[in-house]
Each structure stands twice: as C-alpha cells, then as structure tokens.
A = this chain, B = another copy of it.
Amino acid sequence: MPTKRPTPADSTTNHPTHGYIGDKSRYLARMKRIEGQARGVHRMIDEDTYCIDILTQISALTKALEGVALGLLDDHLKHCVLDAAAQGGDEAQTKLQEASAAIARLVKS
C-alpha cells in the first residue's frame, strides 16, 4: 500500500490509507471557500469595514476551518487508526498518540 507517488494521477489511486481521499473534492472545495473568506476579510479591513462585521466574518471562517479539521480527524480515525489497530502492535499506539496530540491542539486552538 505505501507509495511515494510518481505521477499526480497516482495520488488518488495509490494512497488508499488517506482517509479523506473519498471526499477529497469536497474538502478541496471547502478550502477554496475558506481561502475566499480569508480574502474577504482582507478586503473588509482594506475598505475600513466596521470592526464588528469583520469579527463576524472571522468567527464564520474559524467555524468553517473547525469543520474541515473535525472532518479530516474523523476520516483519519476511521481509516488510518482503525487500520493500524487491526494490525495491532506499536503502530496503533503511535497513531493514537499522534491523533491525541492533534485533538489537543484543536481543542486548544
């Protein structure tokens, strides 16, 4: 299963363990929208938009990012972590250690 990817084409076929692949286009679309929201906040600041309205946009942007992060994490647990767990051994513990650290960063950010 592990591959380093020779061609872009492979990227969808050769990384079956990256859980989000199935929804990849949806995640890409969400990140495009988030990038647009960031650009929107930039423009609001540039145009001296009322501060509170900018803060509202930033809260929306943060929530959108949080949604992407929770989705990726869920996919990761259901794929990488479950796969590692099924195989057993240290790998599963390592994966969970990583996941717990990522969860802690999300909760604190």
Residues of A at under 8 Å CB distance from B?
3-5, 8, 11-12, 14-15, 18-21, 24, 27-28, 31-32, 34-35, 38-39, 41-42, 45-48, 50-52, 54-56, 58-63, 65-66, 68-70, 72-78, 80-82, 85-86, 88, 92-93, 96, 98-100, 102-109
A42 to B62, Cβ gap below 8 A? no
Number of chain copies forming the complex:
4
Report the separation of the CA atoms of residues A78 and B84 in the bound assembly, to the nearest whole angstrom.
Answer: 12
Residues in B whose Cβ lies below 8 Å from that of A63: 109
A55 to B31, Cβ gap below 8 A? no
User: Which residue of chain B has the shortest Cβ distance to A8 in the bound complex?
Assistant: B47
A96 to B109, Cβ gap below 8 A? no
